[in-house]
Amino acid sequence: MKKVLFVVLSIALIALGLSACQSAPEGPQIEVSGVWGRPSPMTAGNGATYFLIENTGSEDDRLINATSNVSEVVELHDMTMDDGVMKMFHVEEGYVIPAGGSVELKPGGKHVMFIGLFEKLEVGQVVTVELEFEKSGKMTVESEIREE
């Protein structure tokens, strides 16, 4: 009887130890911070927003879509060098956010693009953007319009 109890206790302790080792939460764990964008002086022009996406979880995730009511179209973009000229392109598959890693959207790199703004974006304005992740689902963030 004592031996059985010992074995059961040992198994319980091992299980406890194992679960304590897995510090990262199961699945993806997405955090978005530092959301901002530059002012855009022209109505019917374009704008962009930038932010940092961190994944502290144990599984990759993917930003697959962004929507906002400030423009007709919202797309996930990236930049590339083409014949010495920086050009942007639509990243249709979205951005993979690796487990334990991060992806930074910034000027000259990845950005959420607002195409065909309904009104100009001015300093101090806040733009609401809804982000959609493949596994973590939808998340609403506020983009602060400022110069830098």
- Residues forming contacts to Cu ion in the complex (CB under 5 A) are 77, 88, 113
Closest CA to 110 of 136, 137, 75, 84: 75
CA 6 to chain centre: 48
Cβ 77 to Cu ion, closest distance in Å? 3
Question: Of 28 and 47, which has the nearer Cβ to Cu ion?
Answer: 47
Q: How far is the CB of 14 from Cu ion (least distance, A)?
A: 52
Nearest approach in angstroms of CB 98 to Cu ion is: 23
Residue type, position 87, single letter: K
Name residue 130's beta-bridge partners.
67, 140
Cβ nearer to Cu ion, comparing 52 with 88: 88
CB count in 10 Å sphere of residue 31? 14
Dihedral sign from CA coordinates of 133, 89, 35, 23: positive
The whole-angstrom separation of Cα 113 and Cα 92 is 13
Shortest distance, CB of residue 46 to Cu ion, whole angstroms? 7
**Residue 88 CB contacts under 8 Å (≥ 6 apart), including other chains:** 77, 78, 79, 80, 111, 113
The residue among 10 and 43 lying less far from Cu ion, judged by its C-beta, is 43
- Give the nearest distance from C-beta 47 to Cu ion in angstroms: 9
For Cu ion, give the closer residue by CB, 79 or 99. 79
Task: Give 30 or 48: the residue with its C-beta nearer to Cu ion.
Answer: 48
